Amino acid sequence: MKSFCNVLGLVFAIGSTLAVNGQVSITSGDLPQAGYTYDVVNTAVTDFSLTAIDGPNATWDASSLVAIGDAPISPVDIDDASITAALVFNSPFNATYQCDYYLPTVFPDLGFELPIPLDGFNNFYQTSGGHFAIAGIGLSASGFDLPVTYDDIDEFFPLPFSFGETFESTAAFELNLEGILTYGLDQTRSVTADAWGTLILPGGSFDVLRTRTQLNATDDIDIAKLGEPFTVERDQIIYQWWGEGTGVPLLEVTEIMGIPALATFQNIDSTNELHEISSTSSIIFPNPVSAGNVLNIGSVPTSYSIFNTQGKKIADGKSSAIQIPSNWKAGIYTIAIQGETERFIVRR
């Protein structure tokens, strides 16, 4: 399986549904849903037993985890994709690459200005077929996408996926911005649903299915301004705990060389429902919005707060249209409106 997101830090997501015997089985109906914001936060894991415990009817006590920064996930319906992306990822004539939603992601800081104004990239996902997969990306510039398909679609696992099942796949991806940046990925993925039971988070207890993913990848990178191309070998293990109807992993831990290097969890309680921005209460547009321009958030003045990627509040007030400061950096921001949240992209 392949994923440009793996190199640039995108978090993948899915949900789950309960079988009659209490095990969790992931189906297409439990995967991320467009129009929802999943309240994911970064954390640090010091208890290695969270990844060591496996098997049936297990219990993982992660109640002491502390949020150390917001990382919300807000899938966007494929029908809202740019015209150029829709021609590839939302076309009845291209079933292989038909997607259901996409996730906006900020383009990483390379330490220098690119000759083309890239705002970020969108990752396009499939959830309605026989696998949960990512089919390609769209490099975003001035409200349009340069669509790039995966040579070998990155399949995370088949649907449904249940305790005791295993899955293996390969992925290959190539991006070529002539004279600017080339990137190639060759990857193998081995996934096992190795445990089910009860996960205890700060917000409550959840029935979960735990998956263990072994990733082995080779990244070939050539950035023209840096001179010689270079290769990065990546080996990592990703543990994910999927809960009933929660859309994205309740807990995710990535190990590198046996050490938990990255971790996130959903900051919800066991009775919370997903937060959805209602089209009747707020309409966020344009998205992306250019620094210095106006972001519209509704037809009537509404109280709002805006947060940066570190979770720091950087603006608040009451309005139907927000003037985005011209000095704001390009990136993803979160706006809270009447207790609900949505992400938007600022470009320069």
Q: Walk me through the domains of the chain, giving residue ranges and CATH numbers.
A: 4-276 (no CATH), 289-347 (2.60.40.1930)
CB 304 within 8 A of CB 336: yes
Residue % of the chain over a pLDDT of 90: 41
CB 342 within 8 A of CB 277: yes
Of the candidates 106, 96, 103, the one whose C-alpha atom is nearest the C-alpha of residue 155 is 96
Global pTM exceeds 0.85: no
pLDDT score of 109? 60
Higher-pLDDT residue of 152, 181:
152
Mean pLDDT of the chain: 82
Helix, coil or strand: residue 226: helix
pLDDT score of 276? 43
Burial class (CB in 10 A: 0-12, 13-18, 19+), 52: exposed
pLDDT score of 112? 57
